[in-house]
């Protein structure tokens, strides 16, 4: 049964990368239509690097994604820590409040945010994009971190305190290392949510800050171009490349043995 479980999980990983494989293959397709493979070409990569508007959008999305994800992770961490480790009154109320953005249809949030920003005299741009994205990523980050913290064994920090560790030391040496992968999870989830958002961005983007998904979504009327396959391929390959690099360093450390 355990083995079956593992095989299903591995199959899911294959499932995750199937469209990516298709993307990579079709990024070299010389046909302009996606349903037929006509031959091999680098043309789309060349066009991609000439497409300044698309690259500018990629930069906007990456920038907004990183800022929004950092903010959401930090605010989410603080909230989760307060809600799980401290005995604040009205815990259910606060949890509920933080989760509201999840149950508001995005278009509603987008339209009303635009109204609020414009009556506050805040011009649409990077700032409004980031604010909008923090709203929708904060619940994700908070939930992930709350989940991680609430299943931590409370006796761990008690033990540390009993052994004379100050609360800060307990946090830094015991809690934080245990939570680190979950912090990474919260950050990654927030980043990709921001990076791929369409609806909120529609209403919060301003002059010169059209995000990548907005740019791509707006090309639907004239059809997606194969250069988008090239872009998707590069993003995935670049990230995989970094992982492999770090992975190799990791291997070497393991072979060299742990430091004393």
Partner 1 sequence: MVDVNTPRTSRAAGYLMLLPAVAVIALLVIVPMVVIARDSFAVSDPLGGNLGGFTLDNYAKLLDPVYAKTLGYSLGMAALNAVVCTVVGYIVAHYIATRPAKTQPVLLVLVIIPFLTDFLVRTFAWITLLGSGGPFISLLRLVGVDAPSLVPSQLAVTLSLLYAFLPVAVFPIYASMRSIDPSLKEAAADLGAGWWQTHARIFVPLSASGLASSVMLTFVPTLGVFVIPVLLGGGKDPLVGNLIVTLFTEFRNEPLGAALSMVVLVLMLLSVAAAGLILRARSNRKAGAV
Partner 2 sequence: MNKKFLAFGAVALASATVLSACSAGGDASSTGGAGSGSLSIYAWAGEIPDSVIEGFEAETGIDVTVDTFDSNETMISKLAAGNSGYDVVEPSQYAVQLMVERDLIAEIDKSKLEGFDNLAEKFVDPSFDPGNTHSIPWAWGTTGILYNEACTGAEVTGWSDMWNPDYAGKVYMLDNMLSAYIAGLQVNGLSATSTDEAEIATATDSLLEQKPLLGGYNSTNYADLVGTGDACIAEAYSGTTSAKAVEANPDVHYIIPEEGGTLWTDSFSIVEGTANEDAAYQWLNYTLRPEVAALVTDDASLASTNAAALELVADQSQVENPAIYAPADSLTNSEFIVDPGDALAYFQDGWTRVRAS
Q: Is 159 in the site for partner 1 (CB under 8 A)?
A: no
Helix ranges (DSSP H) in the chain:
2-26, 43-50, 52-85, 91-103, 106-119, 126-150, 154-162, 167-169, 176-196, 199-204, 212-218, 227-256
**What is the footprint of partner 2 within residues 3-42 (CB under 8 A)?**
31-36
Q: Is 77 in the site for partner 2 (CB under 8 A)?
A: no
Q: Is 205 in the site for partner 2 (CB under 8 A)?
A: yes
Q: Is 203 in the site for partner 2 (CB under 8 A)?
A: yes
Inter-residue contact 67 to 209 (CB < 8 Å): no
Inter-residue contact 101 to 139 (CB < 8 Å): yes
Residue 124 interface partner, choices partner 1, partner 2, none, CB cut-off 5-8 Å depending on type: partner 2
Q: Could you tell me the smallest distance in angstroms from the CB atom of residue 95 to partner 2?
A: 26
**What is the footprint of partner 2 within residues 148-187 (CB under 8 A)?**
177, 180-181, 183-184, 187
Q: Could you tell me the smallest distance in angstroms from the CB atom of residue 204 to partner 2?
A: 10
Q: Biggest alpha carbon distance in the chain?
A: 71
Residue 140 interface partner, choices partner 2, partner 1, none, CB cut-off 5-8 Å depending on type: partner 1
Q: Which of 215, 217, 205, 196 is CA-nearest to residue 126?
A: 205
Q: Return the range that interacts with partner 2 (CB under 8 A); candidates 12-20, 147-155, 163-171, 219-227.
A: 219-227
Q: Could you tell me the smallest distance in angstroms from the CB atom of residue 16 to partner 2?
A: 16
Residue 126 interface partner, choices partner 2, partner 1, none, CB cut-off 5-8 Å depending on type: none
CA-angle at 201, arms to 80 and 50, nearest 5°: 120
* Other Cβ atoms closer than 10 A to 234: 16
What whole-number distance in Å separates Cα of residue 203 and Cα of residue 218?
Answer: 14
Instruction: Give the distance from CA 260 to its chain's centroid.
Output: 36
Binding mask 15-54 for partner 1 (x = CB under 8 A): xxxxxx-xx--x-------xxx------------------
Q: Could you tell me the smallest distance in angstroms from the CB atom of residue 50 to partner 1?
A: 19
Q: Which of 176, 177, 174, 150 is CA-nearest to residue 164?
A: 174
- Out of 100, 159, 248, 249, the only residue in the binding site for partner 1 (CB under 8 A) is 100
Residue 51 interface partner, choices partner 2, partner 1, none, CB cut-off 5-8 Å depending on type: partner 2
**Residue 96 or 208: which CB sits closer to partner 1?**
96
What whole-number distance in Å separates Cα of residue 82 and Cα of residue 169?
Answer: 18
**What is the footprint of partner 1 within residues 50-69 (CB under 8 A)?**
none
């Amino acid at each position: 049964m355990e083995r079956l479980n593992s095989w299903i999980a591995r199959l899911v990983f294959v499932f995750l990368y199937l469209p990516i494989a298709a993307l990579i293959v079709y990024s070299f397709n010389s046909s302009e239509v996606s349903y037929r493979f006509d031959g091999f070409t680098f043309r789309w990569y060349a066009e991609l690097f000439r497409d300044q508007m698309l690259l500018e959008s990629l930069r906007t999305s990456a920038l907004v994604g990183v800022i929004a994800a950092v903010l959401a992770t930090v605010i989410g961490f603080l909230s989760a820590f307060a809600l799980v480790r401290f005995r604040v009154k009205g815990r259910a109320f606060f949890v509920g409040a933080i989760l509201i953005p999840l149950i508001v249809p995005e278009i509603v949030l987008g339209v009303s945010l635009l109204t609020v920003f414009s009556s506050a005299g805040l011009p649409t741009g990077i700032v409004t994009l980031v604010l909008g994205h923090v709203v929708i990523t904060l619940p994700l980050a908070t939930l992930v971190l709350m989940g991680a913290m609430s299943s931590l064994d409370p006796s761990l920090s008690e033990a540390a305190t009993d052994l004379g560790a100050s609360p800060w030391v307990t946090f830094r040496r015991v809690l934080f290392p245990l939570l680190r992968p979950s912090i990474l999870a919260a950050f990654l989830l927030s980043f990709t949510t921001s990076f791929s958002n369409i609806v909120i961005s529609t209403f919060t983007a301003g002059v010169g800050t059209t995000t990548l998904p907005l740019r791509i979504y707006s090309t639907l009327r004239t059809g997606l171009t194969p250069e988008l396959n090239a872009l998707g391929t590069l993003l995935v390959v670049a990230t995989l490349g970094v992982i492999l690099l770090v992975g190799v360093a990791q291997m070497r450390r393991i072979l060299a043995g742990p430091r004393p």
